[in-house]
A and B are shown apart, each in its own frame.
Chain A
């Protein structure tokens, strides 16, 4: 089974990818599958409600809002980085997590590099398929390098202004 890196409780570790990727022109097998948004929309009825784990992989122009009613039935949403410099998936991830309340696995695929660890995790990703042969120890180190952040995102970290508020409350 292909491996990926999972982020849980502040640390990265190898994990197994339990989903079988299915091409758009293939018949959908039984069991746990990862399909494109187009295939999902076409075969929505037969894919959902069969008690299987289902993942949808979205391209950079796919709108996460189009999944809104089906999200509770999905265990994985994978967002694609065609190049590491293409940051659209960060917005899609935050919309999925913070606005649409997606609780399943949010997976980064494509040109996914170690140096993206901080923005990925902050925007709500918790699984990565790295394209640069990086390993979980490196992800843990690189993602925890910064002791503070300046803004709220999808990871729940308190921003500097909240830390300051707490500090001054304690000091008073």
Chain B
């Protein structure tokens, strides 16, 4: 993992000192709320329904055990004992006191964490493939490039006041586990026949009121020019993005209105004039960053573990966990272990301080001191020996972290919604809880197979509802919580936006409607089809018919 050096640490220390002073000025009344609000937002501190919320960045979702322990400690000391992992692989603490915020930032800085650029119209926290460094299907480690962008974008003087927020995702694998097509910039690494690395650059994806999937604006960008090309993209956007209408200010609108080809032409023209050597990282710095991600701790192990095979044969619960939550690793004898934050009836993405500590201990003992956050609001232990899986499972299960439901119907994404969020129209969490309870039987969930439900409490789409196989959007209908269903979305390589099923449903109709939709799918599906395949073949009609059938 990347390790902060003296320079990185001093940047954080300077920032913490600055924010402490700003907080003091606000608390003493020397500053008004209007003056203070943009400053606290730049440090990730929002005022939500019940209290302040602090959003801590977890760059490209990578954590070590010391960092997880500090997050747990913050949850316990300054909050009410839990935190919420988000689709942006950040963690949010919901019950923060302003007067504690400088101390929290100081604690975070001690382990190289911060809340910088987790709000505001700037370049936000990066996301990357959570399987980075562990999966066989990647051509390079995307975290190297994500870290390069993280540093370059931190306090970028030209791009701190963009027309709107700006989010970047990076992957190096064939399978898209970072939802790159719904990002402002989505980067996919390629390795060409001659071994040269390049990026496929997509620009202009995003959800919200006007959802777009991003088009490619450059097929092959030599990796060494990543930062100068990013500067060119951002400069075209900063100069020409709309600032007159907040709903049209994201880069997706600029790209859509110019057309991808014209936008690409403007970027290329800007890039042509850029002094690339001044902006791009020198090979020495890239090598330094690359070295911090090099994994050396792997043992040479047989590809088949007799311990693992025997445990699967003996223990059905473990076998189910292995089927659903354990994924293949590039290193023989190792596996990736998904830690489900979707226990039936619990809040999706929430983890208690104790749970964070359990994962920290497991990361330290069994996963080369690494854990990851996925955009699907789960955690992941990336480097576990097959021999250790039974023990890891036992510890996770005891902590309520081993629900065997990764990518299944109860692995639901839900934003905080009206239970916490000041912008919400409706609650998202209770809807997720209702649905999950209906599919609590793991055998039933497995029979239904891969089915991704994503719930947002308002059109801002933090819960990615547009790209859920089933998307659920909270709306306000004459003052009551209603929910609009969409079917057929996907955030992966086959990215698609969902189709509206019909008029919004009252809260107590949502979970029954999901039941009906699943029944139709089970009836209609052909051999081997996932829900999304059946939907793509059969279309909306059979689902619509059942959900909106007149009541008997």
Do the two chains bind? yes
**Which residues of A approach B to under 8 Å, CB–CB?**
84-88, 90-92, 94, 98-99, 115, 118-120, 122-123, 145-153, 160-161, 163-165, 168
Q: Is B278 an interface residue (CB 8 A)?
A: yes
B: contact size bracket? 35 or more
CB distance from B420 to the nearest CB of A (A): 26
In the bound complex, residues from chain B placing their C-beta under 8 Å from that of A145 are: 14, 17-18
A86 to B160, CA, bound (A): 10
In the bound complex, residues from chain B placing their C-beta under 8 Å from that of A147 are: 10-11, 14
In the bound complex, residues from chain B placing their C-beta under 8 Å from that of A161 are: 151, 281-282, 284-285
The B interface is mostly helix, strand or loop, or mixed, namely helix
Q: Is B194 an interface residue (CB 8 A)?
A: no
Known: A85-B121, A161-B282, A164-B285. A148 touches B158 (CB 8 A): no
A88 to B345, CA, bound (A): 48
A151 to B150, CA, bound (A): 11
Closest to B22 in A: A115
Contact B5 A164 (CB under 8 A): yes
A115 to B35, CA, bound (A): 10
In the bound complex, residues from chain B placing their C-beta under 8 Å from that of A122 are: 157
In the bound complex, residues from chain A placing their C-beta under 8 Å from that of B281 are: 161
CB distance from A86 to the nearest CB of B (A): 6
Known: A85-B121, A145-B18. A90 touches B279 (CB 8 A): no
Contact A88 B238 (CB under 8 A): yes
Choose among A91, A152, A153 the residue with the greatest number of B CB atoms under 10 Å from its CB.
A91
Contact B157 A118 (CB under 8 A): yes
Q: Is B526 an interface residue (CB 8 A)?
A: no
Q: A87-B159, A147-B11, A161-B151 are in contact. List 16 more A-B contacts (CB 8 A).
A: A85-B38, A85-B121, A86-B161, A87-B121, A91-B235, A115-B39, A119-B157, A119-B161, A123-B157, A146-B15, A146-B155, A150-B151, A151-B151, A164-B288, A165-B282, A165-B285
Q: Is B239 an interface residue (CB 8 A)?
A: yes
Contact B39 A149 (CB under 8 A): no
CB distance from B156 to the nearest CB of A (A): 6
Contact B158 A153 (CB under 8 A): yes
Choose among A87, A119, A145 the residue with the greatest number of B CB atoms under 10 Å from its CB.
A87
Contact A152 B14 (CB under 8 A): no
Q: Is B152 an interface residue (CB 8 A)?
A: yes
The 10 closest A-B CB pairs, nearest first, are A87-B161, A122-B157, A119-B157, A161-B285, A90-B158, A150-B151, A160-B7, A146-B14, A91-B238, A148-B7
In the bound complex, residues from chain A placing their C-beta under 8 Å from that of B15 are: 146
Contact B275 A164 (CB under 8 A): no
A-B contact pairs, 16 of them (CB 8 A): A85-B121, A90-B158, A118-B155, A118-B157, A123-B157, A147-B14, A150-B151, A150-B153, A150-B154, A160-B11, A161-B282, A161-B284, A163-B7, A164-B5, A164-B7, A164-B288
CB distance from A165 to the nearest CB of B (A): 6
Contact A94 B282 (CB under 8 A): no
A90 to B158, CA, bound (A): 5
